[in-house]
Structure 1
Amino acid sequence: MSKLKSNCKLGVLSRPDGSVLFSQDETTVIAGVYGPVESKANKALVEKACVEAHFRPKSGLPGVKDRLNESIIRNVCEAAIASTLYPRTSVVVVIQEMQNNGQLISCALNAACLTLLDSGIDMKCMFAAVTCFIDKEENLLFTPPLNEDEVKAMFMFVFESVEKNIIASHTSGSFSVEQYKDALSLCKEECTNIFDFFKRSLTIK
């Protein structure tokens, strides 16, 4: 199976402390990070930074699925940021969906990691997310079939850069234990390519 094609442009927005236009295959998002900035009194944490995530769909108001994406993004960023270095502050990650071809949440997470790195915020590790699918013919794919009814299962894994351990995962559909293991192995292999892409992108900058 061919690897995912990633592209990015850092520093595309002027107001955030870090920003990126990021795409994986045909899925594209813009991400920005603000902070660390002084927290509002009701959000300030004494021992660490408060991490917020805002996910904006391509059109319309955020729905239930967008709120789930926000929760995943916030939890992953919170695990990766060295938040104890920034007590009583807020770090706000904003993701804007541009185009979705099946890799939306993993694309958003990878954009979040790149924009955090672009901002210069101290992090405990990088993180990379990969999504794959099983179609009705039992094929394991990075790009889902055009017809959603042809998707039997979806797997999304997030790995940290130090030991390549899973820090988050999300699955849906029907699959066997062996198919789960195959998907995990495929995504773990692909995450190495994404980490290499991150390093190249920051070096070029």
Structure 2
Amino acid sequence: MSPGETTDNSLRPMLCELNILTRSDGSAMLTQGETAVVAAVNGPMEVRMQHMNVEKAHIEIHFKPRFGLGGVNDRLLEDLIKRTYESVILTSLHPRTAISIQIQEMQDRGGLVACTINAVCLALMNSGIEMKHLVAAVHCVIDEKGHITLDPDELQSKHPRAKFTFVFENVSKNTVSIYTHGKFTLAEYHEVLRMATGAVEKVFNFYGEIIAKQSEGL
């Protein structure tokens, strides 16, 4: 593969609705293409004694798959989200409390991890919980022929040689966390990272549009 060779360099359409749940401090339903996730945030609130920290808030992540009970991959997703948002939320402002994030998978048609991370950020923004910066995720795959696809759908990501999810912060566009799977060269990694860095600005712009619409409706 020559650097820059791609099959698609655009993101799927994104739609979001805020405040869709009445029993939460902040909520968002996000769709990216046909992948859909609902995220809800509650807190800061009372924390169980075993999780109490006198210096910062405890973050709880609960992911519910569309069908059945959660498996190993769902627990790994919870861990990825927790590590991402522990580095983002200003937990030191709320010691001896808990911040609970509930996530419901509605439909997975590719890029579920990225969609979930983005839905959580929107729900946190809706809740008013303070963050150091916003974060947004971009999903990419490399197929057996070496073609890179940004934000692939279910068909495009069916048999990837490698897949990536990059999480960026909105100030310097540095990566907050990275998830990779499969085989790839260093040159391929840097090319995928370059493309994802260029694409994430569209996600941050989308956040701005959603919050602006919410403000107009107040």
Fold in common (TM above 0.5): yes
Match for residue 3 of structure 2? none
Q: TM-score, normalised by structure 2?
A: 0.91
Amino acid at match of 2:55: E
Structure 1 runs of 4+ aligned residues shifted over 3 Å read none
Match for residue 170 of structure 1? 179
CA deviation after TM superposition for structure 1 residue 77, in Å: 1.2
Amino acid at match of 2:172: E
Match for residue 25 of structure 2? 17
CA separation of 1:119 and 1:74: change in aligned 2, threshold 3 A: same
Residue 118 of structure 1 pairs with residue 90 of structure 2: no
Match of 2:50 among 42, 47, 53: 42
CA deviation after TM superposition for structure 1 residue 138, in Å: 1.4
Distance 2:178 2:12 in 1: 19
CA deviation after TM superposition for structure 1 residue 4, in Å: 2.9
Match for residue 40 of structure 2? 32
CA deviation after TM superposition for structure 1 residue 172, in Å: 0.6
Sequence identity percentage? 40
2:167–2:178 Cα contact (<8 Å) kept: yes
Matches within 5 A, 1:174-185: 174-185=183-194
CA deviation after TM superposition for structure 1 residue 117, in Å: 0.3
Q: TM-score, normalised by structure 1?
A: 0.96
Distance 2:203 2:191 in 1: 19
CA separation of 1:26 and 1:144: change in aligned 2, threshold 3 A: closer
Unaligned runs of 5+ in 1: none
Distance 1:115 1:145 in 2: 25
* Cα shift readout 1:25-46 (whole Å, capped 9, x = no counterpart): 1110000001010111111110
Matches within 5 A, 1:96-115: 96-115=104-123
Distance 1:65 1:124 in 2: 28
Matches within 5 A, 1:50-199: 50-141=58-149, 142-144=151-153, 146=155, 150-199=159-208
Unaligned runs of 5+ in 2: 1-8
SS in 2 for 1:46: coil
> For this pair of structures, how many residues does the alignment match?
205
